[in-house]
Structure 1
Amino acid sequence: MASVTLSSKFQFSIPKAVREELHLKAGQRFAVITKGDIISLVPIPELAELRGIAKGADTSDYRDRTDRLERYQ
């Protein structure tokens, strides 16, 4: 398990082994999620990386706005 130390400027460096394992790049953005005493850093993917993520999704049961409007009139 890798560990880091928080600097006096409230910064830390991600260990090289972790950066290489997760293919992290300089300038990459992260979402910071807290739950109790736990801090999670989740990489925010680039828009290009999300291309095709829903390929093959079943849209046969998709509800559109007109369906919702008819229901409440």
Structure 2
Amino acid sequence: METVTLSPKFQVVIPQSIRSALQLAPGDKMHVIGYGNRVEIIPSRSMKSMRGFLHRKGTEPDTRIERDKDRL
């Protein structure tokens, strides 16, 4: 966990290790959400860039659905 300081202009600097891990760049848009007693900063990504992020590259997602026996 990294610690940052809120500046007099209410700005924070995202640590370099986190910027690298999340591939953040100057000018990227962020969503800022107050959640309980914390602030969450979430990178805003286009739908096109999010395509396929839920499965590993080179593998096909499993689209089979097991149904209960009493369902059609």
Report TM bin, short chain.
0.5 to 0.7
Q: What residue number does 2:49 align with?
A: 49
Structure showing greater radius of gyration is 1
Partners in 2 of 1:16 and 1:7 — Cα distance?
17
1:1-60, CA deviations, whole angstroms, 9 ceiling, x for partnerless residues? 11100000000100001101111111101111111211111111034314567xx8x8xx
Identify unmatched segments of 5+ residues in structure 1.
59-73
Instruction: Select the structure that is richer in helix.
Output: 1
Identify unmatched segments of 5+ residues in structure 2.
54-60, 64-72
- Give percent identity, aligned residues only: 36
Q: CA 1:50–1:21 in structure 2 vs 1: closer, same or farther (change >3 Å)?
A: closer
TM-score when scaled to structure 2? 0.64
Q: What residue number does 2:16 align with?
A: 16
Partners in 2 of 1:49 and 1:21 — Cα distance?
16
Partners in 2 of 1:51 and 1:39 — Cα distance?
27
